[in-house]
Structure formats: C-alpha cells, structure tokens
Amino acid sequence: MPLMMSEEGFENEESDYHTLPRARIMQRKRGLEWFVCDGWKFLCTSCCDWLVNICQRKKELKARTVWLGCPEKCEEKHPRNSIKNQKYNVFTFIPGVLYEQFKFFLNLYFLVISCSQFVPALKIGYLYTYWAPLGFVLAVTMTREAIDEFRRFQRDKEVNSQLYSKLTVRGKVQVKSSDIQVGDLIIVEKNQRIPSDMVFLRTSEKAGSCFIRTDQLDGETDWKLKVAVSCTQRLPALGDLFSINAYVYAQKPQMDIHSFEGTFTREDSDPPVHESLSIENTLWASTVVASGTVIGVVIYTGKETRSVMNTSNPKNKVGLLDLELNRLTKALFLALVALSVVMVTLQGFVGPWYRNLFRFLLLFSYIIPISLRVNLDMGKAVYGWMMMKDENIPGTVVRTSTIPEELGRLVYLLTDKTGIVHGLFLAILKPLDGSHQ
C-alpha cells in the first residue's frame, strides 16, 4: 500500500525538523523527572528486596571435622547453643499482634467501623463509643500475648542457663548451656538433660554403654542403649582425652534422628585408628541420661541440632471456637448488608443513597456484638489460670492461652504404646495446625 501524504504535510515537514531537538530535550527532562520522582522508589524497593533475600538466605549445611577439646580449630562459625521459642521480639511484638488480630473478619470489621467515624458525613456518634470497645479488646489481647511471651522467655532462659561440666586441660569448668561450642568435651550426669548433639566418648559404666530417655525427642518411653567409642573408652584416665590427637568427621546436620554417619580418627597412634560411627554412638539434644555419667564431644549446636530442626517455627494457634465465631460474624454481616439495602430501597434511593446505605450499616452494626470477643478472650485467660491452679492436676502448665477450651471438645482419645500423655498431646494440638509446641 503506497504511502500518501497531503500537501499540508509537506508544508509542515520543515517545522517538524525544528521540533526534533525540543522533543529530545523534553525526553531528557522526563527521564530526569522519572529518576527524581520514581527512580528512588525503584532503587529503594530493589535494595529492600536484596536485603530481605540476604537475611532470609539459609546457610548451606556442610559436613564438618571436629577436633576433641579444640573449638578454636573449627573451620566455620556455628550457631550458638541457645533455645528460643519466642514468637516476637521488641520490634515485632505490636505489629505481629495487630496483624494476627486484624486478619480475622470480626476485628477487621470493627476497625473499619471505627475508622469511618473520622469522616464527618458518616459520623453518627461519639468516637469513644466505637474506639473504646475495640481498644479494650486489643489491650486484653496484647496483655495475654505479652504474658505468654514472657513465660516463653523465662522457660528459654531457664534451659539456656543450666550449668554443665566442661572438660578442659586444667580440669572441669562450669559453663552455661548457651555457651557450649562445637568441639567442647561435656560431662553429663545421670538424670541430666543433654544440651547439644554429641558423639559418645566415655562413660562411667564398665560395660562402655549407657541408657538414655528419648521421650522428649521422639515420644517413646522405652530407654535407648548407647555405646561409647571404643578407642576413647579404653583410655586409662579421663584427662587422657587431651593427650591424644583425634577428631570426629560428622555428616552435615539433618532432621533424621534415627541415622548418623561419621568416623572417629586418632592420628597419633601407629597405625592411625579409624572407627566408624553410627546412631548408637550419638547423644542427641533434649534427651536425658538414664544411667551412669557420660562424656561426649559436641558436634552440633543450636539450630543445627536434631531436636530444633524437627521443631516447627512458633506460631499462633487458633481454636475451633474462634473459627466458628469468625464464620458467624460473616453471616451476620451479610444479614446486616441485606437489611441496610432494604432500608435504602424503602426510601426509594433518594439523594445520596450510597451514603445512606453506609450510615444504615453503622446504625445496625450493633447486631455484631464486640462484647462477645471480649468475653471470649477473658474467659480463655480464666480457664488457663484455673487449670494451673487445679489441685487435682498439679504441675499443669498452660503453654498457649488461646486454645484452653479445646479440651472440652475431646470425644475420642487415640493412644499408642507410648502412653496416654502423648496421645492426649496429639489429640489436642494436631487437629488445629499440625505443629508441636
């Protein structure tokens, strides 16, 4: 198809050539304007995404060589041997609690209703009549979450502050559980919790083996037999562990608590001693020594231990009653909208009917009682307090005050060979979100 141009187009051709430099200048100005107005937003967003990726990037787990009693020889930096079950910190507590509350329709509904009173055309009452009940609900919820968080902090502090005997060249030294490092030689007495994942080196038992209780790790109440490394068990004295040049080669940290692959090597003997290691030569964290006194070398600490890797991140547990209340609130809101539409229809959609519709929604908002949420939260706190003070079940600890009413929903109790307590634990928590606490 031929290109056709009018005479007027030929006449304006010269002027078009004169406007080209001006268009380039305008394009440069627009580019500069974009960089000043929108470019910094793009750069900030890119930097924030990069920082988030850096912070959330998981460390690659690798196999390691651990020298006996020499933490300074570790090639890489390992995590601290501390336990942390808290859900929030000082900076994320308020935003986290507000998010967990307003993700439910009931609280979000009252927040929108309260914020609408700042609009003069929609204001139908005093601000405190809307904000006071909502603020009271949030205050009760934050107080309850703060108490639970403080209790978690106290339990973590108690576990991390437990003292253990660390074997050094100068003798035994008392160290906290949180100060234990990879390569330390730790002595664990009978009925004492093992603080970290270790390889079993020596025991006070003449048979060279001991029993441990693993009910806190896998839920099984039967005792497990563990065998010490024969090369270190045959040493005449405990201090001879520092007179040998030996190390343990351990596989990378993993979640499987029923398998382990590694080797024990002593280099100063002729010929060098190589002994393969299996699950029978390990002492996992959160287990308890049931017989004798054991000495082990730490191979995994903190987040790299089997018990922590098999523990899900702490999160808010939601009971079935809260979910039912949320569904009931949605049904009442639909009825409220239908009633408001009927009222506007009876007026004949006269004037700004959409504003009248919203005002009817505000007038009928009391159909959804906010006092129900207040009574529910306060009732849960009372239930938890009564459980801990009950003389018929001494020693009961309510770790989560958001689901105590779920005990009343138990109909069938499923147990196995591990006993009733373990079965009750699964029956209460497993149907809610599948996580353990």
Q: List, by residue number, the catalytic residues.
A: 416
d(CA 302, CA 195): 9
How far, in Å, are 86, 194, 229, 310, 355 from residue 217 at the CA level? 20, 11, 23, 9, 60
What pairing do the DSSP bridges indicate for beta strands 262-266 and 282-283? unpaired
Contact 217, 257 (CB under 8 A): yes
Question: What H or E segment, with its residue span, contains residue 96?
Answer: helix 93-102
What phi, psi does 299 have (nearest 5°)? -115, -30
* DSSP string for 192-260: -B--SEEEEEEESSTTSEEEEE-HHHHS--S-EEEE--HHHHT-SSGGGGGTS-EEEEEPPP-S-TT--
Contact 302, 285 (CB under 8 A): no
What phi, psi does 322 have (nearest 5°)? -65, -40
Which residues lie below 8 Å from residue 151, measured CB to CB, with a gap of 6+?
Answer: 399
Residue tagged 């394009």 (tokens):
27
Contact 387, 406 (CB under 8 A): no
353-363 and 320-346 helices cross at what angle (nearest 10)? 140
Omega prior to 271 cis, within 30 of 0 = yes
Contact 413, 428 (CB under 8 A): no
